[in-house]
Each structure stands twice: as structure tokens, then as C-alpha cells.
Amino acid sequence: MSVSGRITAKEKAVKLKPWIPRESVKIELGRQSRVFLSVTALLGPAYARFVLRLARIGVEGRERLVEEYRRSAADEGRFILAYRHPGDADPHLVFHVLTNLIRGKAPAVEADGRPGAWYPSGSEVQLWASPLVHWALRNAGIVPVRHGAVDRAVLDYLVRAVAERRRPMAIAPEGMATLNGGILPELDPGTTRIALLAAERLASSDKPMPVRIIPLAIEYSYGRTTSPARLGRFLTRLEKRIGLDRAAARPDPGQGATGKDPTSPEAIKSRLLAIWGRLVDIAETTYARSWGLKPAPTGAGLAERLGVLLDASISRMEAFYGVQPAATLKARILNIRAESLRRVFYSREELAALSPLELAAARRGSAEAYFLDKIYMTAALGQFLDPGYLDGNPSFERLVETAQNLHDFANRLEGLELKHRSKYFLKDARVIAGEPVEASRRPGEGRKEAAERVERELEEGFRRLIRH
């Protein structure tokens, strides 16, 4: 509340709705209904412009996509589309490209007349989705999966679908929105594992054929749609929001900037780093008071300070949930999400057997998991925040991405989620299809060695497509 005791407009807009116990999502391969496809074809351009904030959409390497669809339609091979996930618009963008923008060029692989794809997506989406979103998920080819949890039934389902369906699977190997287009983060091994298992399944069938992975880069650019002045105004509002004095955010003239133009690249970079430092200050103070977490030693850099904060907060969550720490921070974060969701999802039989008191206790457990999940949300973004992204003379794209990410970090400290990410910047998008990666085992190569090699090849394919 405000100091006057009144609820401000900002506070009214922040609606934190705790989770309630839900029935576990069934493993069903969604079909793209004709009604849904007609609606998306009609409204797709407007949705892309006003919701996704995409001014232009281009497709590079279209002939590669067309060839893979042709091979699959002719039962000459199967393929997986592995797309990068640097932003919140990516799954929608990929759907639009594969369903509408290459229609008429790539052959239709199912009776609905579109090339299309089907999409593994986090089962947690149903916890916040509206009835309209639920309808869209059921009709867009979505397969619900639980991130951070290994489910043999789901894995078998995905492998069988890749092997048997002419329509490809489209999946983000990054596992979550990583929010920095110019850096390739750690990839989840699931994509290559599914591809290799599907290839083995096909090799032992009466219709053997290869399986390939097509890397899809997603490149967002802001130079045509966003001015430095607009970026400067965005930073001014963020500086005011976090209590950072404007003068303190300006560059130091002694370090090569004029100190007069707050929208020059040097000034923007300096202001971003000042905002970054202020946000880490706030996070350290907040977590120290709420969780008793000690900050990094005096004199530590931004990256170290944030790393200490994330490690300590995730360690607390691991201790609370009784989770054994994984090898990487990303895996630890996903394990925490999996454990929080385990307290929300029940089988139909479990829910039916609960007494009124047990159901009320389950509701409390779900609500507690929801509020603890806010630490996951902060860490999920924080792991990708690296001041090194601004080293040297960063591109305008990197400056805008960083501004959005810092705004998002402020949101996460308030308890908000990815869906509250700023829509302030209009952008151009380009989907780039890279060289296919063959999912196969070489002579004398074990399954693990093959998976590691194919994953390296996929990473190299992605890196060749990075433009900024």
C-alpha cells in the first residue's frame, strides 16, 4: 500500500493469484483444429503486431524448411525443429511461421492443409491460462510436459510421435526463455535424446528412415523500430521506479563519454550498469531481510553479487524441498520448479479421495508453493543476467535487450512473471533455418557419446546463426 494507506493503481494492477490443486495434465497430442487455424490465419498479423510487438517477420533458409517437409511427406525422413528461445514471443512466432508464412510453399503433412508442427510446452501454463488460452492450447498442437521432471511415459510418447508423424515436433532446447539473443546458453539434452531414440525406433521398423534436427535461430532487431531517445525514456521511467537519482545514472565524462547526451551508446550503457547495480542492491537487502541471506563480500562485481544471491536462495529452496543439488545452476532451478509443481498437480483419483479438510490442506500447500515459486521466477531470469553482455561497444540490440531484462528483473522482485514483461519496444523478427544435424550413432559410438556429439553439432549450428 501507499503511505496514505490507499491502494495505488500500480497495486491494483498486480494481481497475485495463488495456485490451487489441479488434476495432472494428460499426455495428449493436440490436433490443430480447422477453426483454430482459420482464426490464427485471420488474426495472426494483428496479433503479431499488437500483442507480440512484431513489426516485420522474415524467414531465412525457407528452402531448407520446404525440403524437410517434402522429405517427411514422402516418408524419406523425419525431422525436429529446434528453435532458440531468446524472448517471450518465440513460440507464437514459430507457430505463425510454420502454420501460415510457409503455407503454399512447404507441403501440407496432415489433412488440415498446413505444414505446421506440434509443440511440447510446460504443463504449468494451465495454472494461469484463461479459458481462451486453454482453448488455444488444446487446438494448437500442444503436448504438456513438466520441466525439470523426468517422466518416462512422456519421453516415450514424444519419441513415438517424432518417429510416426509426418508433422514435426518444434521444441526449444534452451528449456526456458533466456532473453539474450547474442549468447547461446546451455542446451537441455532432451532434444537430441528424443531425436536419437526416434532414429533407433525407425531403424528397427519396417520403414527405416533418418531423423534430422533443424536449428532455427530467432533474431530480433530494434534499429528500424526504436530510437535511442525512446530507449532513454524507458530507462528514465525505470530509474525513477527503482529510486535511482538521474544524475547518478549518467556516464562519467572522464571515462570517454560527453556526459551531455543521455541517449548516446556510452551513456545508455552507463545508465544500464547503474540500474543493474541498484537492482542488485535492492535484491540483496530484500533477501537478507526475508531469508537471512548474506550478500557477497564488499568489493565484489555485479556478476559475483548476483551469483551469490542466486546460489544462496536456490540452496534454501533445495533444503526446503529436500532436493539434491544438480550439477548446474540451470538444472537446480528447473528442479525447484518441478518440486513446486508436484505440490499442485494431483491425479484424478487422488483429488477424488481427499476429504474436505485434506482438500483445504492441499489448497494451502499449493498456495505456499506458488509464493515460493517467485524465487524460481527471479532465479530463472537472474541466471542469464551477465554484465559481460555489455562489454566493449555493444550493439543497439544488446542495449535494448538489457533494458528489457532489467525491467523484467524489477518485476520479478515484485513477484511478477514473464507474462508481465514490457511491451514497450516494437521489433523486427527473423526466423533463420540452419543446416540440418543428423541424429544418428556412428560405428562404435555408444548412445551417450552419440547424444553428446549431436548436441555439440546442434550448438555449433546455433552459434553460426547468431548475428549480434
d(CA 127, CA 413): 21
d(CA 21, CA 149): 18
Does the structure show a pLDDT above 60 at 120?
yes
d(CA 208, CA 188): 27
Q: Residue 251's pLDDT is what? A: 46
Confidence category of residue 27, pLDDT binned at 50, 70, 90 = low
pLDDT digits (tens, 9 = 90+) for 270-301: 999 999 999 999 999 999 999 899 999 999 99
d(CA 292, CA 315): 13
d(CA 314, CA 160): 35
| Range of lowest pLDDT (61-65, 125-129, 395-399) | 125-129
d(CA 418, CA 378): 10
- 44 closest CA partner among 107, 133, 36, 128: 36
pLDDT digits (tens, 9 = 90+) for 258-271: 456 888 999 999 99
d(CA 142, CA 136): 9
pLDDT digits (tens, 9 = 90+) for 295-339: 999 999 999 999 999 999 999 999 999 999 999 999 999 999 989
* Main-chain dihedrals φ then ψ at residue 286, nearest 5 degrees: -65, -45
H or E stretch at 429: strand 427-433
333 and 376 in contact (C-beta within 8 Å)? yes
d(CA 250, CA 159): 54
Does the structure show a pLDDT above 80 at 31?
no
Residue 405: C-alpha distances to residues 127, 309, 389, 448 (Å): 24, 17, 12, 36
H or E stretch at 53: none
182 and 398 in contact (C-beta within 8 Å)? yes
Q: Residue 30's pLDDT is what? A: 59
d(CA 136, CA 131): 9
d(CA 376, CA 361): 23
Domain ranges of the chain: 31-223+427-463, 228-420
Residues 6+ away with beta carbon under 8 Å from 89? 52, 53, 54, 429
- Pairing type for strands 437-438 and 211-221 reads antiparallel
pLDDT digits (tens, 9 = 90+) for 334-363: 999 989 988 998 989 999 999 999 999 999
182 and 466 in contact (C-beta within 8 Å)? yes
Does the structure show a pLDDT above 90 at 136?
no
298 and 277 in contact (C-beta within 8 Å)? no
Residues 6+ away with beta carbon under 8 Å from 304? 296
Does the structure show a pLDDT above 60 at 178?
yes
Q: Residue 468's pLDDT is what? A: 80
Long-range contacts of 362-370 (CB under 8 A, 24+ apart): 362/21, 363/20, 363/21, 365/21, 366/18, 366/19, 366/20, 366/21, 366/22, 367/18, 367/19, 367/20, 368/343, 369/19, 369/340, 369/341, 369/343, 369/344, 370/16, 370/18, 370/19, 370/340, 370/344
| Range of lowest pLDDT (163-172, 180-189, 422-431) | 180-189
The sign of the dihedral angle between the CA atoms of 403, 407, 408, 413 is: positive
- Pairing type for strands 142-145 and 119-122 reads parallel
- 34 closest CA partner among 113, 142, 94: 113
Start-end of H helices in 322-394? 329-342, 348-353, 356-382
Confidence category of residue 88, pLDDT binned at 50, 70, 90 = confident
Would you call 168 helix, strand, or coil by DSSP?
A: coil
Mean pLDDT rounded to a whole number for the chain: 88
Higher pLDDT: 277 or 121? It is 277
Residues 6+ away with beta carbon under 8 Å from 47? 40, 92
Looking at CATH, the fold of the domain delimited by 31-223+427-463 is given as: Glycerol-3-phosphate (1)-acyltransferase (3.40.1130)
Higher pLDDT: 427 or 29? It is 427
* Grid cell in block for residue 142: 500442444
d(CA 267, CA 278): 16
- 182 closest CA partner among 219, 145, 212: 219
216 and 237 in contact (C-beta within 8 Å)? no
Does the structure show a pLDDT above 70 at 436?
yes
- 83 closest CA partner among 434, 426, 395: 434
